[in-house]
Amino acid sequence: MLSEPWKRKLIYLTPSGALSKVTRPTSLGAEIVVLGRKLYQSKTMNPSYLWLQKIQGEVRTDELMSDHTSLRIGGPADVFILPKDIADLQTILKNKGTAPLFFLGEGTNLLARDSGIRGIVVSLKEGFKTVSRPLFYKSIDGKEKAVIKVQAGVKLSYLAKYAARYSLTGIEHLVGIPGSLGGAWTMNAGAEGVDIGQVTRSITRLTTRGEIEKLKRDQLIFNYRKTQFPAGHGLLIEGEIELEKGDAVEIQNTMDEHLAKRSSRQPLTVPNSGSVFKNPEGDTAGRLIESAGLKGKTIGSAGVSIKHANFIVNKGGAKATDVLKLIRLIKEEVKEKTGVELELELVVAGE
């Protein structure tokens, strides 16, 4: 449900789908024009809120974030939009007013609070899933390479398998990483010393003014689990990756090895957080947490995985508050016993 600052009005669709006008008492004491599906309006939204009718994709209200996160935790988002295309995104940016926006990928490495997320949550996982055919060329040093254009809603693991079909090497180590390209570019996702930034040629973003801006490689700084973008804000919508021609058998073997390793070392069969903390230089968060005696530690229905100590699992009905208490305990215990201050990789969203 919406919190107190977000006073609600209901907009209903008449059985015939026709325009209808209804007067309904609200905290704001305003008449409500009925047009379209059931919607909510708040003080911080565009007053009419009817601009949502322009969205070609799907619009939902009070959508539980637990249905969209790998931890299966999270209260309702006020408005949840699955945009169909860039035009939908431009409509959102133009009309949202002062309402906060939260852009959602696959919901991995994300903890949504129990009270949910105020404002508008935008997910690209339905409308931005196009991957181009590789464009092959020969580099100056004679190597055969290819450029693939990929949209932000494409899963990273799918892209790795797609590249393997064309015997392209460079991202096979990333095959088991959950999440979409949008999130991968934002946090420079990686594994085994390989990250998405190493093969990224360009990233295109939609600015807050609704303009399309292409960022070249030399404008981006890829750090450990964080990408620095040029000044300004925007939504990542697509990018280009550059890969080399490799040996198909070797590429497939590498992917098989990494998938088997992940399956044996990570709690992939239960709702989980993904990596909770960043690895400190020269060590791993998982080893430090285990050395502090916290493997298997549980608060409420949230527990430190017995397979991998840097993962928190939902044992059934866990709350965000359980996870946050567990994170606080882990940080305190690791600091006390090892002297290392763990840095959170998990994104916490909501109020």
Whose CA is closest to 347, among 110, 16, 5?
A: 110
Give dist(CA 331, CA 337) in Å, integer. 10
- Domain boundary among the residues 123, 149, 171 is at 123
139 and 244 belong to one structural domain: yes
305 and 236 belong to one structural domain: no
Number of domains in the chain: 3
143 and 84 belong to one structural domain: no
272 and 342 belong to one structural domain: yes
101 and 139 belong to one structural domain: no
272 and 247 belong to one structural domain: no
- Domain boundary among the residues 123, 145, 178 is at 123
* Cβ contact 320:273 at 8 Å: no
Residues forming the active site: 225, 275, 345
Tokens of 307: 């397979």
pLDDT of residue 294: 98
pLDDT of residue 1: 36
pLDDT of residue 97: 86
pLDDT of residue 93: 92
Q: Is residue 75 part of a domain?
A: yes
First to last CA, the chain: 13
φ, ψ for residue 55 (rounded to 5)? -70, 125
Q: How many helices and strands (H and E) does the chain possess? A: 6, 22
- Residues in the chain, pLDDT under 50: 1-47
pLDDT of residue 131: 98
Query: What is residue 158's three-state secondary structure?
Result: helix
* Cβ contact 138:247 at 8 Å: no
* Cβ contact 83:55 at 8 Å: yes
150 and 210 belong to one structural domain: yes
Tokens of 201: 């040629």
Torsion sign, CA atoms 23, 24, 27, 32: negative
pLDDT of residue 103: 94
Q: Is residue 288 part of a domain?
A: yes
Q: Is residue 12 part of a domain?
A: no
Q: Is residue 262 part of a domain?
A: no
**Which amino acid belongs to residue 189?**
A
Decide: pTM greater than 0.85.
no
231 and 139 belong to one structural domain: yes
pLDDT of residue 50: 82
Q: Is residue 257 part of a domain?
A: no
CATH assignment of the domain containing 73: 3.30.43.10
Q: Which range of residues forms the domain containing residue 294? A: 267-349
Tokens of 110: 């994300």
CATH assignment of the domain containing 321: 3.90.78.10
Torsion angle defined by CA atoms of residues 205, 207, 210 and 211, in that order, rounded to the nearest 10 degrees: -70
Query: What is residue 95's three-state secondary structure?
Result: helix
119 and 142 belong to one structural domain: no
67 and 173 belong to one structural domain: no
246 and 323 belong to one structural domain: no
Give dist(CA 88, CA 95) in Å, integer. 11
Bridge partner residues of 22 (DSSP): 32
Q: Is residue 256 part of a domain?
A: no
Query: What is residue 223's three-state secondary structure?
Result: strand
What's the burial of 232, exposed, middle or buried (CB within 10 Å: 0-12/13-18/19+)?
exposed
Q: Is residue 209 part of a domain?
A: yes
Q: Is residue 71 part of a domain?
A: yes
CATH assignment of the domain containing 203: 3.30.465.10
144 and 229 belong to one structural domain: yes
- Domain boundary among the residues 102, 123, 144 is at 123
